[in-house]
């Protein structure tokens, strides 16, 4: 019997992110927020346990998004795999559009002194709200393991934000009142970044965006590996994820690779 636990919160920090939108086949173009599949992949790097499942509920932005475009050489294909390839003949230029953040001041840990100090930062920063689901017998063990790893910064594999080169830092959040929020510089002084305070006490960047029909996730339980899409909206810096049942009811999907 599956057990779905209480709502948990983590802070995710990285220099940039690339949550690729599958409708762009030739170029990588990042969405502002991760899909459900990207969130599940991010959290699975903490423990790597097959019995643990993650159900994202919402995600909050602590930055004003901006885009960063990079173009580089990549291998176009690897042939039939039976012979060595000449990269000069099979390389191609590909553009990747990352999502980054505005320049601001945040409090980060100093490992030498184990203190929090203000530092200038221009990356992405999310508050992720999710629930852990597991078999009723295994849930207490997996929940304790998850909390222990998050507190000590021990991960099964290095978490990343869409691409393995875009590493991420994950920290547990016990209470929204304990969070330190970013500030920006104005005339040589640090001033609070425009934020919106929600009913639960969380403060996020006052940012609104209509993402339109966006990629939601891959149904791995279906042999056809359907890619599901759903309308997404960011309101006052928060995106609320619909449930899988709600997305399947919409029926907006396309068949993925088997």
- Band the pLDDT of 86: cuts 50, 70, 90: low
Q: Do the beta carbons of residue 74 and residue 95 sit within 8 Å?
A: no
Q: What is the mean pLDDT of residues 100-121?
A: 78
Note the CATH architecture for domain 2-75+92-251.
2-Layer Sandwich (3.30)
CA separation for the pair 11, 161 (Å, rounded) = 13
Three-class SS of residue 129? strand
Predicted pLDDT at 79: 66
What are the residue boundaries of the structural domains of the chain, listed by start?
A: 2-75+92-251
* Helix axis angle, 36-47 to 139-152, nearest 10°: 90
Torsions phi, psi for 102 (to 5 deg):
-70, 155
Q: Write phi, then psi, for 100 (nearest 5 degrees).
A: -125, -165
**Residue 60 CA, distance from chain mean position:** 10
Could you report the per-residue pLDDT of 15-64, keeping only the tens digit for each? Answer: 999 998 766 666 788 999 999 989 999 999 999 888 899 999 999 999 99
Sheet holding 104-110, edge to edge: 115-121, 104-110, 183-186, 189-192
DSSP letter assigned to residue 170: E
pTM of the model: 0.87
Report whether pLDDT(113) > 60: no
Q: What is the predicted pLDDT for the residue at 168? A: 94
How far is C-alpha 120 from the geometric centre of its chain's CA atoms? 21
User: pLDDT at position 91, please?
Assistant: 75
Number of other CB atoms surrounding residue 58 within 10 Å: 18
Residue 92: its pLDDT value, please?
77
- Reported as a single tens digit per residue, the pLDDT across 198-253 is 999 999 999 999 998 888 988 888 888 898 999 999 999 999 999 999 999 998 99
The DSSP annotation for 32-77 comes to SS--HHHHHHHHHHHH--TT-EEEEEEEEESS-EEEEEEEEEEE--
Task: Give the chain's mean pLDDT.
Answer: 87
Query: What digits encode the pLDDT tens for the residues 160-195?
Result: 999 888 999 999 998 898 888 998 877 767 888 889
d(CA 130, CA 6): 8
Task: Show the DSSP H helices in the chain as ranges.
Answer: 36-47, 87-90, 139-152, 244-250
Task: Give the model's pLDDT for residue 95.
Answer: 84
Band of pLDDT at residue 197, cut at 50, 70 and 90? very high
């Amino acid at each position: 019997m599956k057990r779905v636990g209480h709502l948990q919160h983590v802070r995710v920090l990285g220099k940039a992110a690339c949550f690729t939108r599958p409708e762009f086949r030739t170029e990588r173009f990042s969405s502002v927020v991760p899909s459900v599949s990207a969130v599940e992949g991010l959290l699975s790097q903490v423990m790597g346990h097959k019995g643990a499942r993650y159900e994202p509920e919402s995600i909050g932005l602590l930055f004003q998004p901006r885009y960063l475009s990079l173009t580089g050489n990549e291998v176009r294909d690897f042939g039939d795999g039976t012979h060595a390839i000449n990269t000069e003949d099979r390389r191609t230029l590909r553009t990747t559009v990352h999502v980054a953040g505005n320049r601001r001041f945040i409090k980060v840990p100093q490992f030498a002194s184990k203190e929090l100090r203000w530092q200038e930062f221009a990356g992405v920063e999310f508050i992720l709200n999710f629930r852990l689901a597991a078999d009723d017998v295994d849930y207490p063990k997996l929940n304790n393991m998850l909390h222990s790893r998050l507190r000590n910064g021990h991960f099964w594999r290095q978490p990343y934000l869409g691409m393995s080169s875009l590493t991420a830092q994950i920290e547990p959040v016990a209470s929204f009142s304990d969070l330190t929020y970013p500030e920006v510089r104005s005339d040589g002084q640090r001033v609070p970044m425009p934020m919106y305070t929600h009913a639960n006490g969380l403060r996020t960047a006052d940012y609104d965006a209509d993402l339109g029909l966006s990629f939601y996730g891959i149904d791995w339980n279906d042999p056809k590996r359907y890619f599901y899409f759903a309308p997404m909206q960011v309101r006052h810096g928060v995106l609320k994820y619909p449930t899988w049942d709600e997305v399947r009811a919409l029926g907006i999907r396309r068949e993925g690779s088997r």
